[in-house]
């Protein structure tokens, strides 16, 4: 069954992003502030596409040094040893804890990459005015938002490794420059997901299929 | 109390009417499938009890050592704030601030704001400053990553266990309790119910603005 769509924007109404109150905007250009909670009202997040592209591109650039530069330096009297994220994964794998190795690999390598590809796909499909598989694209967006935080895993692993292994002069672990870039990738992709407005996915569609009426 | 209202889906902007829901029932968007409303099952005091418990557990998690390391007569231990401090001393200032924010400030802020909000929400109408707090709670909970920190600690423990003997400390129990309690607070706290009882920014609720006259604010 296909149903005509009444969205808040089409009905001339605006939904508050903070308290979800649907209200009549003060004007079409400047909707004003929410009468209930005081949040600034916006029909769609302001400059959503440009902001998201900027943040995602910055994250993509940081992703390269994040993987190439060492995240940890192990200093012993014999010398020092630099480890990248992949080296950490391989270390966990060879020391017999392959489930942890897999977890770190997914959280630090695959999730950030998957997020960047997904955000780029969402942006391109919105810019091309695609009306296909809007439901699936919205689901993809929700997954990106939910799993994004898990890529912070490696930052915390490095922090606690550094904090514990301070046994000078025997052995100490120092953070490498890669941690900073990696943290930047995680924060930038999280901000990119926040600035993307999923309602844009649906703005080109005028009708929808009622699934379980 | 009437809890039926018109909402626009946050993910696709479709206007729809939320029916009165029984405890534990959910309402999903007809077009995109996003969960719009979830009616909690527990009593209204449950979130407050859970928040107080989580706050106590969080203090234990932050002050007592998370793990202790013994190697050739040397002993070392760390707490969550201590780990962020060590990162600062090692020269990674930005990463240290980020860890402090995600692992200490955001969870502590979340629980503090929740505590104040839940106490204020026992009054009716809910004062407007409590609504402000509810807005902050929504923004800060995205950055509270204790469950990710926990996994990070476990991976770090496994890595270090190769070189030295490592034991989990008492702080770990508080930490474990906190990460179980925070999702319990989230699922039992009825944000929508508080918004419906909140005193409006301009004082009295404005006349309802909806396609139908069913967007009604409660007093």
Q: pLDDT tens digits for A30-67?
A: 888 888 888 888 888 888 999 999 999 999 999 999 99
If one compares A119 and B128, the residue with the highest pLDDT of the two is: A119
Question: Does residue B49 lie within any of the structural domains?
Answer: yes
Looking at the domain assignment, is residue B205 inside a domain? no
The pLDDT value given to residue A43: 86
pLDDT at residue A54, rounded to an integer: 96
Pair B16, B90 in one domain:
no
Boundaries of domain holding B1? 1-39
Mean pLDDT within A117-146: 92
The per-residue pLDDT for A207 is 59
Answer yes or no: is B212 within a domain: no
| Residue B43: predicted pLDDT | 81
pLDDT greater than 70 at residue B1: no
- Of B11, B72, B153, which has the smallest distance from its Cβ to A138's Cβ? B11
* Model pLDDT, residue B217: 33
Tokens of B89: 């001393």
pLDDT for the residue B213: 38
- Measured CA to CA, the distance from residue A14 to residue B13 in angstroms comes to 9
Is pLDDT above 70 for A152?
A: yes
Please count the CA atoms within 13 angstroms of the CA of A5 that sit on its side-chain side.
22
- Alpha carbons A4 and A8: distance in angstroms, whole number: 13
Partner A, chain B 185-214, Cβ-Cβ below 8 Å: 192, 195, 198, 200-202, 205-206, 209-211
- B127 domain-assigned: yes
Percent of the residues in chain B that have a pLDDT greater than 90, as a whole number: 37
Token code pair at residue B169: 């400390």
- A 10 A CB-CB count for B12 gives 25
B200 → closest Cβ in A36, A139, A171 = A36
Q: Do B18 and B98 share a structural domain?
A: no
pLDDT for B216 beyond 60: no
- Indicate if B7 and B91 belong to the same structural domain: no
Does residue B90 sit in the same domain as residue B108? Answer: yes
Handedness of CA A92, B146, B85, A152 (dihedral sign): positive
d(CA B58, CA A40): 33
Using alpha carbons, select from B117, B104, B106 the residue that is nearest to residue B59. B104
Residue B134 lies in a domain: yes
Q: Are strands A171-175 and B5-8 parallel, antiparallel or unpaired?
A: unpaired
Q: What is the pLDDT of residues B185-214, one digit of tens each?
A: 988 888 888 888 888 766 655 444 444 333
The answer to whether B192 contacts A20, with C-beta atoms less than 8 Å apart, is: yes
- Residue A93 pLDDT greater than 50, yes or no: yes
Q: Are B209 and A150 within 8 A, CB to CB?
A: no
Size of interface A-B (CB pairs under 8 A): 223
Query: What whole-number percentage of chain A has pLDDT above 90?
Result: 42
Contacts of B94 in chain A (CB under 8 A): 180, 183
* Residue contact A175–B32, C-beta within 8 A: no
User: Considering only residues 110 to 169 of chain B, which have any Cβ-Cβ distance to chain A shorter than 8 Å?
Assistant: 131-132, 134-135, 138, 142, 145, 148-149, 151-160, 162-163, 166
Other CB atoms within a 10 A radius of the CB of residue A46 amount to 11
Residues B25 and B56 in one domain: no
Residues B57, B35 share a domain:
no
Chain-wide mean pLDDT for chain A? 87
Q: Do A153 and B151 touch (CB under 8 A)?
A: yes
Query: CB distance B11–A161 less than 8 Å?
Result: no
Does one domain contain both B149 and B63?
yes
What pLDDT, on a 0 to 100 scale, did the predictor assign at position A2?
Answer: 66
Domain A47-204 in CATH 1.20.140 = yes
Could you tell me which residue, B176 or A213, shows the higher pLDDT?
A: B176
Asked if residue B213 is part of any domain, the answer here is no
Q: How far apart are CA B151 and CA B147, in angstroms?
A: 6
Does B108 share its domain with B10? no
- Given the structure tokens 């600690």, which residue do they identify? B153
**For all residues of chain B together, what is the average pLDDT?**
84
Distance between CA atoms of B166 and B70, rounded to whole angstroms? 6
Determine what percent of chain B is predicted with pLDDT higher than 70. 89
Give, for A22, the enclosing helix (H) or strand (E). strand A22-23
Enter the ipTM.
0.86
So what's the pLDDT on residue B205? 57
Q: Is residue A179 within 8 Å of B96, Cβ to Cβ?
A: no
Same domain, yes or no, for B32 and B134? no
Domain ranges within chain A, ordered by starting residue: 1-43, 47-204
- Say whether the peptide bond before residue A167 is cis (omega within 30 degrees of 0): no
A96 CB burial (10 A radius; 0-12, 13-18, 19+): exposed
Residues A19, B94: C-beta atoms closer than 8 Å: no
Minimal CA–CA distance to A182: which of A41, A65, A32, A16?
A65
Mind listing the pLDDT tens digit for each residue in B42-78? 788 899 999 999 999 999 999 998 888 887 777 778 8
Pair B102, B168 in one domain? yes
Distance from CA of B58 to the nearest CA of A (A): 18
Residue B105, classed as helix, strand or coil, is helix
Residues B52 and B69 in one domain: yes
Q: Do B45 and B176 meet the contact criterion of CB atoms below 8 Å apart?
A: no
Residues B70 and B116 in one domain: yes
* Neighboring chain B residues of A65 at a CB cutoff of 8 Å: none
Number of domains, chain B: 2
CA B180 distance to own-chain centroid: 11
C-alpha dihedral, A107 to A113 to A117 to A123, nearest 10°: 80
Rounded to the nearest 10°, the torsion over CA B28, B33, B36, B41 is 50
Sign of CA dihedral A112, A117, A120, A126: negative
Q: Do B99 and A21 touch (CB under 8 A)?
A: no
């Amino acid at each position: 069954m296909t149903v005509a769509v009444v969205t808040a924007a089409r009905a001339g109404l605006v939904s508050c992003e903070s308290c979800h109150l649907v209200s009549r905007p003060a004007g079409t250009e400047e909707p004003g502030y929410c009468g209930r909670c005081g949040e600034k009202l916006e029909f769609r997040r302001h400059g959503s596409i440009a902001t998201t592209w900027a943040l995602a591109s910055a994250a993509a650039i940081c992703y390269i040094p994040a993987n190439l530069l060492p995240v940890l330096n192990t200093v012993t009297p014999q010398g020092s040893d630099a480890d990248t994220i992949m080296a950490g994964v391989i270390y966990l794998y060879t020391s017999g804890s392959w489930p942890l190795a897999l977890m770190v690999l997914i959280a630090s390598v695959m999730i950030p990459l998957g997020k960047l590809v997904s955000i780029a796909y969402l942006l391109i499909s919105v810019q091309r005015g695609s009306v296909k598989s809007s439901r699936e694209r919205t689901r993809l967006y929700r997954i990106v938002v939910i799993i994004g935080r898990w890529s912070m895993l490696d930052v915390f692993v490095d922090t606690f490794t550094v904090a514990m292994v301070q046994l000078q002069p025997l052995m100490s672990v120092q953070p490498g420059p890669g941690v900073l870039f990696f943290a930047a990738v995680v924060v930038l992709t999280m901000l990119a997901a926040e600035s993307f407005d999923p309602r844009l996915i649906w703005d080109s569609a005028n009708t929808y299929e009622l699934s379980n009426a | 109390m009437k809890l039926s209202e018109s909402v626009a889906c946050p993910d696709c902007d479709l206007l729809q009417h939320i029916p009165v829901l029984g405890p534990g029932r959910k309402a999903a968007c007809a077009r995109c499938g996003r969960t719009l409303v979830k009616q909690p099952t527990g009593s209204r005091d449950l979130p407050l009890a859970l928040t107080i418990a989580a706050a106590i557990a969080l203090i234990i998690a932050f002050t007592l050592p998370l793990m202790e390391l013994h190697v050739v007569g040397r002993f070392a231990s760390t707490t969550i704030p201590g780990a962020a401090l060590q990162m600062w001393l090692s020269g990674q200032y930005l990463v240290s601030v980020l860890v402090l924010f995600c692992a200490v400030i955001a969870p502590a802020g979340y629980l503090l704001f929740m505590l104040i909000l839940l106490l204020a929400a026992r009054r009716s109408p809910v004062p407007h400053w409590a609504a402000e707090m509810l807005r902050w709670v929504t923004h800060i909970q995205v950055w509270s990553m204790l469950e990710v920190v926990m996994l990070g600690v476990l991976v770090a423990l496994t890595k270090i266990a190769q070189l030295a003997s490592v034991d989990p400390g008492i702080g770990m129990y508080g930490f474990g309790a906190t990460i179980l309690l925070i999702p319990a607070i989230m699922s039992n706290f009825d944000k929508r119910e508080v918004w419906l009882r909140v005193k409006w920014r301009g004082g009295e609720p404005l006349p309802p603005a909806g396609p139908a006259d069913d967007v009604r604010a409660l007093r």
